[in-house]
Amino acid sequence: MAPFKFELKTVKKMTTDAIGEPGKRVFYLQAKSDDQIVTLIIEKQQIQSLAIGVEQLLLDLQNRHPDLSQASFDYIESEMSLEKPIDPAFRVGQLGLGYDEESDLLILVARESQTVEEAEAEGAVARFWCTRSQVRAMCHWGLELANRGRPICGNCGQPIDQVGHFCPKSNGHRQ
């Protein structure tokens, strides 16, 4: 069977969001065009890495093309929520970024996560053509979401659950 391919040439909305309690949240990446909504499952770390990659790419673009307007990172939180139905097409394994000079659009490419056995076959792929500001705002919102998770232990760097935390660096003793 041929893999799914999603090609949203003109993205009207680009967002990421999480559903569930901290520590048990599922993160989603969603793009919407005039006639299609594509929702993908994504890891929190992928959102964080994407944000770093986007900032590096935008800085590089600004250096190569000083006449480009600055991409905005402003967003309205109430407009960043996922649109229903939330029916993920696939789980993201790899993300890639590109830039099309002619249209001044970023291309976000998401490839399906595959097992070793599935690696020989081509997996699903989604390509989202977005403005620089759409992607930058989505990434800043994604970082805000990631920071709303569980607090991090100052000793070991592991997340602290609501019921407590066994810290290996304190050998089980509380400070």
Q: What is the pLDDT of residue 146?
A: 86
> Do residues 127 and 134 lie in contact, with contact meaning Cβ atoms separated by under 8 Å?
no
DSSP annotation of 51 reads: H
Q: What pLDDT is attached to residue 2?
A: 58
Q: What is the C-alpha to C-alpha distance for residues 11 and 33, in angstroms, rounded to an integer?
A: 5
Residue 117 is assigned to a structural domain of this protein: yes
- How far apart, in Å, are the Cα atoms of 80 and each of 24, 32, 127? 20, 12, 20
**β partners of residue 131:** none
Instruction: Please tell me the pTM assigned to this model.
Output: 0.83
pLDDT at 131: 96
* Domain annotation covers residue 101: yes
Identify the three-state secondary structure at position 94.
strand
Q: How far apart are CA 56 and CA 58, in angstroms?
A: 6
- What pLDDT does 153 receive? 80
Q: How many domains are there within the chain?
A: 1
Per DSSP, helices labelled H in 78-149 are 132-147
Amino acid 62: pLDDT:
94
pLDDT tens, residue order, the chain (175 aa): 557 799 999 899 999 999 998 878 899 999 999 999 999 999 999 999 999 999 999 999 999 999 999 999 899 999 999 999 899 999 999 999 999 999 999 999 999 998 767 666 788 999 999 999 999 999 999 999 988 877 778 778 777 777 767 777 776 555 5
The residue segments making up the domain with residue 22 are: 5-170
CATH number at residue 102: 3.30.2450
Confirm whether 175 is domain-assigned: no
DSSP-derived 3-state class of residue 52: helix
- Residue 74 located in a structural domain: yes
HEC profile of 101-112: CCCCEEEEEEEE
In a domain, 17, yes or no: yes
Q: What is the pLDDT of residue 172?
A: 54
